[in-house]
Structure 1
């Protein structure tokens, strides 16, 4: 059985949209006050619907942009941390390999030098 997702207090409900503007990362100007809905003509109802639609859409887009930006930042941080770790491990392995070869070569040269002095 499907359950509804948990309520997100950051997303305004319709009654909040009608009564007060929601504070967002980039505050938008407040919508003009709504007229008394008991005396609206059909054209005024259409205009009210259009204004409400635009206001809700604008607020949701602002919230979506903010959440998307945060998720991208979090994802990029994790990716960059992993990449830095892998790069560090590759450099460490390369350095250990190179230093090992240098030491082996130096030891071999020293042994060859000592053996040549004994003869």
Structure 2
């Protein structure tokens, strides 16, 4: 059921999924800008051959390295997305449950007031009938 309002807490898909850089982009970028903070640590663990040996790598080796970097970045991005989604669901459920509890409490309170009103009215009516019978 949609209320027609956009929840500002839910990120747009373009805010969550960023295009992955190519291996060439990663190599050409300054080290600090090469990857998001969560991925930067793991990218530091990738050891590229010394500069004099980079030209010796075959196309297959570059493709394999690029695939490994992509897989690592994708895995970390998926882990982060899972965490964010789980947190948003928890926050959303907390709000929904709070609203539901408040609504139920109001309904119970209203029902209790109505029941008490009926019970008290009936008790007063019965007492009045008893008083009338004893005065006759």
Fold shared, TM-score > 0.5 on shorter chain: yes
Question: May I ask how many residue pairs the two structures share in their alignment?
Answer: 102
Runs (4 or more) in structure 1 with deviation over 4 Å come to none
1:108 aligns with 2:108: no
Per-residue displacement from partner, 1:20-76 (whole Å, max 9, x unpaired)? 23xxxxxxxx88532227232101111011101101100100000000000000000
Q: How does 1:1-119 map to 2 (within 5 A)?
A: 15-16=34-35, 19-21=40-42, 33-36=46-49, 38-39=54-55, 40-119=57-136
What is the RMSD of the two structures over their aligned residues, measured on CA atoms? Answer: 2.5
Query: In 2 relative to 1, CA 106–35 (structure 1 residues): closer, same or farther, beyond 3 Å?
Result: same
3-state SS in 2 of match to 1:53: helix
3-state SS in 2 of match to 1:34: coil
Per-residue displacement from partner, 1:72-117 (whole Å, max 9, x unpaired)? 0000000000000110011001000000000000000000000111
> TM-score when scaled to structure 1?
0.75
